[in-house]
Structure 1
Amino acid sequence: MADIKVRKFVTIVEEILHEGGPPAAHPPKRAAIAAVIENPYAGAYHEDITGLMDDLKPLGVDMAKRLVAALGGDPKVVEGYGKGAIVGEAGELEHGALWHVPGGYSMREVLGGAKAIVPSSKKVGGLGTRIDIPVTHINASYVRSHFDAFEIGIGDAPRRNEIVLVLVMTTGPRVHARVGGLTVDGISAGDGLR
């Protein structure tokens, strides 16, 4: 059982009024929260690392709640999500993969049982490394209007022995989404895809 040591949280909220087209009647918001944590496996290879997933669950739930609060406090306004991790240079990519379960399931829990798989990205990098976090609709991955990405990086993280864990939520589609495909109103299968 690892004691999760958080150095800091960073929260970013964007409100998109337009991207060159007409101003949105209801501007969508995109928000990210990042936790910079100490990597308990940094500096050496460890065969058994899966226990950290359970240890990260409370942090994941806390981060998901903080992110909903940053978007106004009502989980019902959230329509898109994604997650990711940046592992410092003394760690390995697999340490970022430990975020898949606690990061994804925490958002599903806080959002009331969202059905779609939570898209993810991860990488190893040094201070200031940026990462694109993919975003899809929370209940149907094929809703094209919600395909998006959120770029995030922190100037002083990750240090060599740290991991930056990221969650992203959005309140709607891209501001000028108009490329067709499955719409939110057309979701019918309830399988997380369509």
Structure 2
Amino acid sequence: MPDVNLRKTVSSLEEIFHEGGPVAEVPLRRAAILAIIANPFAGRYEAEIQPFMEDLKPLGLQMAQDLLEMLGGPDQVQGYGKGAIIGEAGELEHGALWHAPGGYAMRQLLGTANAIVPSTKKVGGVGARLDVPITHINASYVRSHFDAMEVGCNDAPRADEMALALVMTTGPRVHSRSGGLEAWEIKGEDGLR
């Protein structure tokens, strides 16, 4: 398979102190990293694309490590998500190649993450934006951690590129009060509850 040809990365860190209510004692921190790479399958249909997932694994690990450093280490992370924007000369299935390398990278470095990493993908032009879904790292049903973070880059993805995203957060939405399973109620048996 082709080597991963990285053009650039884009990182973002948000600190949310309030959403119109009282100021949080500890702000919610959300971090995203986007890698802009060449799409080796752009412009043609390729039947056998799965081996490229193996090539993406080192990139996934580096991106996850960068996010952990932005947020202060694995013990700070409570939520995560991933996504991909595929340039116009590619196809949606190329974004599916990011599922395993992106998701397993975060779970590997976090050590105790049991929940599946939520994901989204789309085909888009230069400047396209993507809302990356976020859930709790150990229980997908923890409603307080249902969130999303918008990612994108002003000059990507070009038609022959992919923009691959990872997102991590340090806690629930600020002012979360919608009920449901709470983080302190997680049983940790199945990644759901």
TM-score, normalised to structure 2's length? 0.99
- State the distance in 2 between where 1:150 and 1:120 align: 12
1:118-147: CA deviation from partner (whole Å, max 9, x where unpaired): 000000010000000000000000000000
Matched with 2:162 is 163
Matches within 5 A, 1:131-150: 131-150=130-149
The structural deviation recorded for 1:113 is: 3.5
SS at match of 1:59: helix
**Are 1:139 and 1:190, in contact at CA under 8 Å, matched by a contact in 2?**
no
In 2, Cα distance between the equivalents of 1:54 and 1:177?
38
Root mean square deviation, CA, Å: 0.7
Please say if residues 132 and 149 of structure 1, whose CA atoms lie closer than 8 Å, have aligned partners that are also in contact: yes
Contact kept in structure 1, 2:33 and 2:165, CA below 8 Å? yes
2:16 alignment counterpart: 16
Which runs of structure 1 show a deviation greater than 6 angstroms over 4 or more consecutive aligned residues?
Answer: none
Give the letter for the 1:119 counterpart: P
Gaps of 5+ in 2: none
| Structure 1 Cα separation of the partners of residues 75 and 190 of structure 2 | 19
Percentage identity across aligned positions? 65
Q: Report the counterpart of residue 56 of structure 2 in structure 1.
A: 56
Aligned residues: 193
Q: Which amino acid aligns with 1:111?
A: L
Gaps of 5+ in 1: none
TM-score normalized with structure 1 length: 0.98
1:86–1:163 contact (8 Å) kept in structure 2: yes
> Is 1:37 the counterpart of 2:37 in the alignment?
yes
Q: In structure 2, what is the equivalent of residue 126 of structure 1?
A: 125
Do residues 110 (structure 1) and 124 (structure 2) align?
Answer: no
Residues 11, 31 of structure 1: 8 Å contact kept: yes
Cα drift, residue 189 of structure 1? 4.1
Post-superposition offset of 1:177: 0.3
